[in-house]
Structure 1
Amino acid sequence: MLQGKKIVLGVSGGIAAYKAAALTSKLTQKGAIVKVIMTENSKNFVGASTFQALSRQPVYDDTFDEQDPTGVQHIDLADWADMFMLAPATANLIGKLANGIADDMLTTTLLATEAPVYIAPAMNVHMYQHPSVISNLKKLDSFGFKFIEPGDGYLACGYVGKGRLEEPETIIAVLEDEAKRRKKLQGKKVMITAGPTREQIDPVRYFSNPSTGKMGFALARQAADMGAEVTLIAGPVSLETPPKVDRVDVVSAEDMYESAMKYYKEQDVIIKTAAVADYRPALTYNHKMKKKDEALGVEMERTVDILKELGSHKTGQFLVGFAAETQQIREYGREKMKNKNLDAIVINDVSEEGSGFGTDTNRVIWMSSLEEEVLPLLDKQELSREILHRISKELADV
């Protein structure tokens, strides 16, 4: 999977830099074209000539040492890369990248690249657990960067714990898996609906539900990582747009219906995770309603069933629904899949601990015409990968 891949390897100043030499050699043996960027401090551990000999490519360490006067070195290198690997990534490099600091060849190139970035941290166990490092790692994760977690073991500082740079073989296995995964939805257009809707009764009051949109946003991020062109139709949520995702913001069920019908024709896959209101006030007010002593009755009317409309209008799209249930979840799931003309459905029991609205995890049942499988309790990012893997497999079988 790495044959002919253009990989930029960023090496920062930690004792684990010696492993970067072995990584360079093994990547080159796999057929990858590896260009190394070294920080000034990394040269205290390994010399530039080592990387040059192993990669048979020039080594870069100075933003202002332009090797080709016809271009701008760090921009050309950023555009050239298919993948960008940081190994080892020290706490200092992680902090710079998280905060947009570009003061050397490696950091300026990193800020300019649009290639996927993989980070293999290596540092003392206490440094790795420091709140500022954890905060920076979380920020980079939100940017869409991928991590190859450090291993447990004996560290150069004498401590035993988490912080040791992963072995080159493990790093290469991750890169090969990622290269394979990034092709699974390549060229496909995927539309995802996420979050709740709000149905106004007056300017300061509305009916809604507890959906946070986390599941839909996780799916959007993973679909984009797998090469898809993603349109994310989002209700009112406080989540950052995943990298390389086109986001359409809506508020009401009617807004979401109009946007879904606008974009659905050009899609290959449609995943409806949004918790759309089934009812809305039949009468709304332009001014705030004043409190009264007597009870208030609000007449409600049905909203459009978006999933059913998409099912009745589909012309070859692979349509996936989500069902949040509290009882008889398999029976209701099968009924929903049949009645709404779905290709697959993801069912979860929202009454189960660690599953449903607002959580970072979910336990679901995947159900399609080909298979039915109970998935374990998973982080929503990992669950998204599992769901999209099954979708890509079913698309390949069509």
Structure 2
Amino acid sequence: MSHIFNTYARWDIELESGEGTKVKDIHGKEYLDFTSGIGVCNLGHCHPAIVKPVQEQLTKLWHTSNLFQSSLQEKVAKQLTEHSSGDAVFFANSGAEANEAAIKLARKYTGRSKIITFHQSFHGRTMGTIAATGQEKVKYGFGPMLESFVHIPFNDIEALKNEVNDQTAAIMLEVVQGEGGVLPAQEEYLKQIEDICEQNNILLIIDEVQTGIGRTGKPFAYQHYNLSPDIITSAKGLGNGIPVGAMIGKEKLTSAFTPGTHGTTFGGGPLAMTAANAVLKLIFNEKFLLEVIEKGNYLADKLNSCTFKGVKDIRHKGLMLGIEFSEDVTEKLATLREKGLLVLNAGPNVIRMLPPLTVTFEEMDEAVSILQKNL
């Protein structure tokens, strides 16, 4: 009997080591990891530029508390605000915590409670963020949800207009729905949402937990569409595996978060900030980001040139790719694991690929070859 709650449908693989895009299990079998820990290890496994400073920090200080000043937090916050529409940062430990902070800030700043989100969205596993999530399966069995969340169809502007009223605090969305199937928002739709927010004094919250930190070839995915959100949330790739989350907001919002209004014991700790500082120095670089776009286009083109049985669509933004099938992909994922390729699903019918942003062209060719032979 396991002494762990059975909350995960675990694969029959235990990984022991990794470097770059390659990982090995406890039996020595090697895999191409096109999951990146679900979009976390954007710089691959055990990147030396992250390992070295974190090891050095381990010998200095692991934890204090947020009662003390932190120049490390200031360094990371400066990089995040310089590469976004925000001006101030709250550091947390995960994407769910960052989204909780965003929900609380929006409600407190506006004095309103209604937040509009979208069908097939995913915002986390806390009680607040499952209420925000537009998927009933994550809510089942947990009783009444936090009130005032409304879920509407994605890419449907009339449905949005029908829900906006004087109690609407915020509209919260992913510009590419990751867990929902790698589904991109339409560019015109996003601009219409921003216009509606401006006209009605509604905050625009963009959840960049999976799409941010270079995943789509920009620091944040919303930047492909020339948007200016009031709040941006980030996590996953921010620490390359060291737990860290961030909520980034515009200066006008800082008056709503004063001492005692929100907090965290571990958020923004020395190890997390050291990792995030090293990550951002590498990823928030124009040349690096252009290479992500180049690699994403290359991989998408290779996939589109293949003949997979039952494929309905192939979607991508940078190195975030989804292959939609007409049938359940669970068995396909198992077959690919046997052949040495780790990929994810996004809903029942979509194979999701999130390789490290450092993936090589040779590794992408190898992955496509495995896909072509086994799908």
> When the two structures are superposed, what TM-score results if normalisation uses the length of structure 1?
0.25
Higher relative contact order (CA 8 A, sep 6+): 2
Higher normalized strand content (fraction of residues): 1
> When the two structures are superposed, what TM-score results if normalisation uses the length of structure 2?
0.26
Larger radius of gyration between Structure 1 and Structure 2: 1
